[in-house]
A and B are shown apart, each in its own frame.
Chain A
Amino acid sequence: MSAAIVKELEHLLGRERCLTGPGQVLAYECDALTHFKSVPLAVLLPESTEEVQEIVRACVRHEVPFTPRGAGTGLSGGAVPAPGGVLIETSRMKRVLHVDVDNRIAIVEPGVVNAHLSRDVADHGLAYAPDPSSQIVCTLGGNVAENSGGPHCLKHGATAKHVLAMEVVLPDGDLVQLGSPAPGGAGLDLRGVVLGSEGTLGIVTKITCRLVPVPPCVETFLATFDEMEAACHAVARIVARGVIPAAMEALDDRTISAVEASVYRAGYPEDAAAVILVELDGHPAQVAAERQEVEEVFVETGALSVETARDPEHTQRLWKGRKGAFGAMGRLAPDLYVQDAVVPRSKLPEVLPEIGRICDELGLRLANVFHAGEGNLHPNISYDGRNEDEVARVVDAGRRIIELCLEAGGSLSGEHGVGLEKREFMGLLFSEDDLETMARVRTAFNPDELLNPGKVLPTSRACVEVKPVHRLPGAPT
């Protein structure tokens, strides 16, 4: 069976776009969450919608599971191939097909890199708003699959708000157009369900994106605090005063230290317990009014200092530390576990210390960098994967942090998705009936479960065996 489908796919794509050599496919065994690995039978690199359809039809004929993948920057194991399955990498479908400046939309292929779209439309004074931290690498197809966020989604919204329509190859190889660039629309919002479905309902082959005018005024502030609780109160008060900044990010002292010791050095004060990075954008008069509110909050909440970006280079430097924070933590230990959970914004001051207590109790090194304005936490635990005892403690911490966030009224994931990592936690948040409803919707798209099996829903609903390298949170035990 394996040989037969490989032969067929090689015939379709040629050997240079149907990778089967052990050295070639090994690089695709995981996404950016390296704990879950499964070597694909083949890695396929289609260059057109028609080729995606032919690949899918071949997989269906041979009953071989298939998993779509963008740039592999996902952080929940969503693009890990199913055992015995093939990987469909859409990164070669990277054309910006059409830019309609007057209507502020762009039609792109899924392999277009997120940051490249904004770069390509910048001359028109337009931009694509969602900006995940991996935006210089990640693709828009992957962004659609994960409903990716990013620091500036606080004001401008995540991917789902900026994708108006899609061309999708269904799990049987049929092609369907979902959504519309114009408002309204009849029927069920299948576009909305496919968005964020982690590649389990269809493979997106064209995306109609909403573009936004580049804001004429951007002001960026870095405020330092002597404790994280005060920083969280500042975040809450800024929102309470009626200001929704474009972005509002927080970093704790350990993250600051890691950043300042790395190539991402941004000049953050190393004696601060916490910093928050606040960015305002929009009409200059609106920004001026919001700046006044923000500055008053900084005074009220006892900010130790406030640094205001003087020019675009200064702004870029302040953001460099935030965007490079995860990379900087690579210095702390051989392995890094990036948790992604979300709580109501008002619960930040009570949840964060509790997360610290959990990690202290377990003797783990915790660093926090998170989207404070949305309550989207990223507790990062540095550890050594060769130390089994430490791995076990990381597992324990991950589960306890999730339970803590759910008790606070939160949710499992703010932006990384469920994938393989958190599928077993879904039962903590959703009832059997909730999960049954989701499973039925998935079955309506993907009745044979050949498309990206085993993701999102607990394994009891969609059995697949992908072995984690380490037994980490969410992994079946």
Chain B
Amino acid sequence: MTVSTEQLADIVGGNHVRRLDDDNPSFSEAHPRPSPMVWPGSEDEVRDILRLAARNGCGVVPIGGDTAPRIPNEPGPVVLLSLARFAQIDHAVDDLVLTAGAGTTFAAAEAAVAAHGHRLPFSPPHRDRGTLGGIVACAAEGATLNAYGAVRDQVLGIRVVHGDSRASKAGGRVVKNVTGYDLCRLHTGARGALGVITEITLRLRHAEPSACRALWRFPTIQAAWEAGMTLRQRHHHLFALHALDPLALEKAEGEGAGLVATLRGAEGFVEVAGEALWAEDLPATSRIILPPDAIPVIDDPAQEAGSWLRVGVLPTAGGPLLDTLQTHLPSSARIVLDILTGLCDVTHPDQDWLDPTEETALGGDLESLAAQVDRPGDPGFHLRRFSLFPSTRPGGMPIMDRIVHALDPEGILNPGRRELAG
């Protein structure tokens, strides 16, 4: 049974409901069409929508910027629930804390806090359209992972409407807090399986007064990685360090693969640390100093990507990972490896670029790195990705199932987007 736009209009008003049809390209092709799409304006309206969906056995797909790589939800009727109207911003300037509606875009929040010399504590993909709720729901890490920590380290408080339509909060608006269970971490990366996030409180960072990037060119990405591992041992205050293949650098000056070091901090620090980096005798073919926003693919690896695979490895496994990826991936795939953290993004302009046979072979080869390779962490993660790492299914899956059932007893939230036990 599905939910009608009329029923939804009774909750949110006719202006905030529409039908997503085939002729609407603004939203992911993965969403079933036609589906009702609703823009609630309050937590109470979200609760009423979830109640209605549960009564009708209809799934609910929370949508932020609709930027995450999508695979179709389980077959069946769904309501697409946009958080776009949850866009309030409350910047506690003196406390270095931001509380914002889940539908607030990264760009809007970043602009708001930048006015006071602050930065958001993460660097997500799709930063123009991605929302804070979506970034937290997907634990969408980025180039700040080494310097600031993981997305879940930045979430101080959260408000959520669960699948059983109860609203609850966890955490608070203070920067240090151990009161009760840390459900902020549980919701971060849960991909909306436990509830619809409506509000988030984040720890902020000061915008560093000075920053730059240094680019060294190498014949291969493996050579860039090896040089990067040398820098990693000698320079402990790098903001980020990335190895990129030639495709990822095609818009930058020079040729070949590259190693990019990012420095951020006080002016004197960037100058001194930059000189020390520059003095390194790396076997590069060329080198250049660039502004901090140069090579934007580092800050937004999903740029111009039709599909996106993310793999996390221990830093020392970065080289073997690159070898394995290049053995199986077409040359049209773009690779960006965060050397300091081991987070590796592989993107491709096309949606279906990886041949299923090749994917299976890739999984087999990655298995040999199993001790050092984490489960795929890309927002498009789904059951099929287990084929890549069959031996590294996350621990505690029966508990995960029990938690999901406890908070979403009818199983209406984002059906099919969460891996299951068994």
Residue ranges of A at the interface with B (Cβ–Cβ < 8 Å): 100, 102-103, 105, 146-147, 149, 153, 157-158, 160-161, 170, 176-178, 180-193, 195-197, 213, 216, 236, 239-240, 242-244, 282-286, 288-290, 342-346, 371, 374-376, 409-418, 422, 426, 429-431, 433-438, 440-445, 456-457
Contacts and interface: CB of A to CB of B under 8 A. Distances in A.
B310 interface: yes
A188 B189 contact: yes
B208 to A, nearest CB: 8
B376 A184 contact: yes
Given A149-B176, A183-B343, A441-B406, A190 B400 contact: yes
Contacts of A444: 399, 402-403, 406
A412 B177 CA distance: 8
A147 B273 contact: no
A243 to B, nearest CB: 8
A218 B268 CA distance: 17
Interface stretch (B8-16, B102-110, B179-187): B179-187
B27 interface: no
B150 interface: yes
Interface in B381-413: 381, 385, 393-397, 399-400, 402-404, 406-407
B155 to A, nearest CB: 10
Contacts of A191: 185
Contacts of A288: 266, 268
A160 B176 CA distance: 11
Nearest to A201: B181
Contacts of A415: 176, 178
A290 B266 contact: yes
A160 B153 contact: yes
Contacts of B271: 285
Contacts of A160: 153, 182, 185
A170 B145 CA distance: 30
B374 A413 contact: no
B312 interface: yes
B181 A188 contact: no
Contacts of A176: 395-396, 399
A147 to B, nearest CB: 5
B112 to A, nearest CB: 17
Interface stretch (B49-57, B89-97, B291-299): B89-97
16 contacts: A103-B314, A103-B316, A153-B176, A184-B311, A187-B400, A188-B396, A189-B186, A190-B399, A239-B94, A346-B95, A374-B174, A418-B178, A433-B168, A437-B407, A441-B403, A444-B399
**A186, A213, A434 — most chain B CB neighbours (10 Å):** A186
Contact of B396 (A147, A178, A434): A178
A390 B152 CA distance: 43
B372 interface: yes
Nearest to A346: B94
**A187, A414, A422, A431 — most chain B CB neighbours (10 Å):** A187
B141 interface: yes
B209 interface: yes
Contact of A186 (B152, B194, B381): B381
**A149, A184, A240 — most chain B CB neighbours (10 Å):** A184
A426 B268 contact: no
B237 A286 contact: yes
Given A181-B314, A346-B94, A346-B95, A188 B190 contact: yes
Interface in B156-171: 162, 166-170
B97 A183 contact: no
Given A437-B166, A440-B407, 6 more contacts: A157-B149, A191-B185, A342-B176, A374-B176, A411-B179, A437-B407
B269 interface: yes
A193 B344 CA distance: 26
A417 B178 contact: yes
Contacts of B373: 182
Contacts of B170: 434, 437-438
B273 A283 contact: yes
A411 B177 contact: yes
B375 A196 contact: no
B286 to A, nearest CB: 27
Contacts of A197: 181-182
A193 B169 contact: no
B176 A344 contact: no
Given A147-B178, A188-B400, A290-B266, A437 B183 contact: yes
Contact of B312 (A183, A192, A290, A443): A183
B38 interface: no
